[in-house]
Amino acid sequence: MFLFCIVPLLLFAACKSPSERLMDNFKKADDSLKGANAVVLGRDSLTILNLAILARQQQNPRLAVTADSLYLLTITAIDFIDSIKNTLTAKDTSGENTGLAIKLMEYKNTGILLYEYISGVYHYSVKSIITTSKGRQVDSSFADIASIPSASIFIQKYFKGTPTTGAITILTKFKVDCTRAAAITLNDIKDNLVKRQ
């Protein structure tokens, strides 16, 4: 009797639709990205790096201003990405809507601003890096974005037809990329200031 009860339950659990499996995969990827960002490159890490650089600003005021500008740009980008994620989550709790993300990106130039923030962090990081090998690390974080020539192509590529859960995962990846690039660049600036002591 017990076997007759368990077998149908196991079969029911294993019989998820393709869209349910896709949603599960997006949620797992998003959780994985959030975990990586929290452990390695959290917002607090950027703040600590920036404060360490500002404490040495007497050695090279120009580098300190560069670092502070990159820090502020990155924090603004992170906050903007978080606000988009919060809006998506609030408007689609199931995460399955395939039209919400593109609609939000087209509302009041949200997608254009997102593209500009992400591109800004990338370009400012590349421009501010001192050590060539670290510049390659920044480039590798933004390989996909660097090749996209315009905001409209960016919006279509990442958000057209993308379910809400997928859009949230994509946004989490952009947040991790921005944070990582800024951390690499700020570390590089800090290391160069320390060498000059």
Average pLDDT over residues 182-193: 93
Q: What's the rounded Cα separation, in Å, for the pair 139 and 135?
A: 6
pTM: 0.79
- Between 21 and 125, residue with greater pLDDT: 125
Residue written as token pair 């703040």? 47
Position 106 scores a pLDDT of 96
Q: Residue 182, CB half-sphere, CA atoms under 13 Å: how many?
A: 36
The three-class DSSP label of residue 143 is helix
* pLDDT tens, residue by residue, 13-56: 455 554 554 445 555 555 555 554 444 467 899 999 999 999 99
| DSSP state string for 9-62 | HHHHHH---HHHHHHHHHHHHHHHHHHHHHHHS-HHHHHHHHHHHHHTTTT-HH
Domains by residue range for the chain, with CATH: 40-195 (1.20.120)
| Phi, psi of 139, deg, nearest 5 | -55, -40
Q: What's the rounded Cα separation, in Å, for the pair 125 and 19?
A: 38
